[in-house]
Amino acid sequence: MSTRPRAWTAADLPPQTGRTIAVTGATSGIGAVTARELAAAGAHVVLAVRDTGRGEALARTLPGSTEVRRLDLADLSSVRAFAAGWQGPLDVLVNNAGVMAIPEARTVDGFEMQFGTNHLGPFALTNLLLPHITGRVVTVASNAHRRPGVDIDFDDLDSRNSYRPWRAYQQSKLANLLFTRELQRRLTAAGSPVTAHAAHPGYAATNLQSGAAGAGQRLMMAIANRVIAQSEQQGALPSLYAATQPLPGASYTGPDGRGELRGYPAPARLSPRALDDAAARRLWDVSEELTGVHFPDLAGR
């Protein structure tokens, strides 16, 4: 009689002693849980956060070795400063920080806030840090990328012609997956041992939903957080799994429950648009142009 394998939890994390892992957006939600569990497993965890005061407060509660460094993904000068200050190897970069369905706003560099924070910031950060990265890059995406009609609007990436909060969010999450796919292609072509992965938390009760545009939407999300959502501890499991388990490059991990809303880490479903290699390459080229950051020369590594 066959039985289902035991579900993977944070208790199954392998020892991380001697490894350095950077987690963006680590002051709350699944980022804070990810940082806590990796530190408890022995990693030296760098909390890459916009609010260093909150980061320091959290760091004091975490086990093991941690440090706090300022990073604002909505400001490319901050991204460049963070990367320029990095010394030594970085085993894992977890691109966790993001915003969701917020009112229309612009980054310091003038990009639509969700596209800038969720995609362009991590794109620039990853490429600037790649000469230091020895293991893998994990980028937190969303099953929202699978909603009907979601695509990359190359004619209006910046939502200047029209802005719809959820559409902009869904586009940015699709961009995360196309970025991961093209990053892995480039790493493989360069002969690099570094791998690129994506993960999504399902529907986790975090403060991410609190920034949604419209009081009605925020109220509905608050109710759903209580009734439907899984905990942020559970929501962090796909990120932890993607950061530490043997996986093929360009893997995508999410909850194994119905609709990938809840559950334990398992392979997640990608939309056909997230498998579009031509779109992935085009998005990469546009992202290089917008940020001024390019895939580094990894020869000799």
pLDDT at residue 64, as a whole number? 93
Tell me if 223 is assigned to some domain. Answer: yes
> In this predicted structure, what is the pLDDT of residue 218?
46
CATH number at residue 193: 3.40.50.720
Residue 132 falls within a domain, yes or no? yes
Q: Give CA–CA dist 88/81, Å, rounded.
A: 16
pLDDT tens digits, residue range 229-265?
Answer: 699 999 999 999 999 999 999 999 999 999 899 999 9
Q: Is 3 inside a domain boundary?
A: no
pTM: 0.92
| Predicted pLDDT at 159 | 92
Is residue 294 domain-resident? no
Structure tokens at 171: 């586009």
Residue 128 resides in a domain: yes
Tokens of 42: 């022995």
* Choice among 169, 203, 241, 252 that is catalytic: 169
pLDDT at position 236 is 97
Overall number of domains in the chain: 1
For residue 9, being part of any structural domain is answered with no
Given a contact cutoff of 8 angstroms between Cβ atoms, the answer to whether 113 and 106 are in contact is yes
- Inform me whether the pLDDT recorded for 225 exceeds 60: no
Crossing angle of helices 237-244 and 29-40, rounded to 10°: 50
**Cβ-count burial of 222 within 10 angstroms (0-12 exposed, 13-18 middle, 19+ buried)?**
middle
169 given a catalytic annotation = yes
295 belongs to a structural domain:
no
pLDDT value for 299: 76
Helix, strand, coil percentages (3-state) for the chain, rounded to 5, are: 45, 15, 40
Angle between helices 277-291 and 165-189 (to 10 degrees): 100
The answer to whether 105 and 118 are in contact (CB under 8 A) is no
**β-strands 265-267, 251-255: how paired?**
antiparallel
Q: Print the domain residue range for 152.
A: 15-288
Residue 220 belongs to a domain:
yes
pLDDT higher than threshold 60 for residue 291:
yes
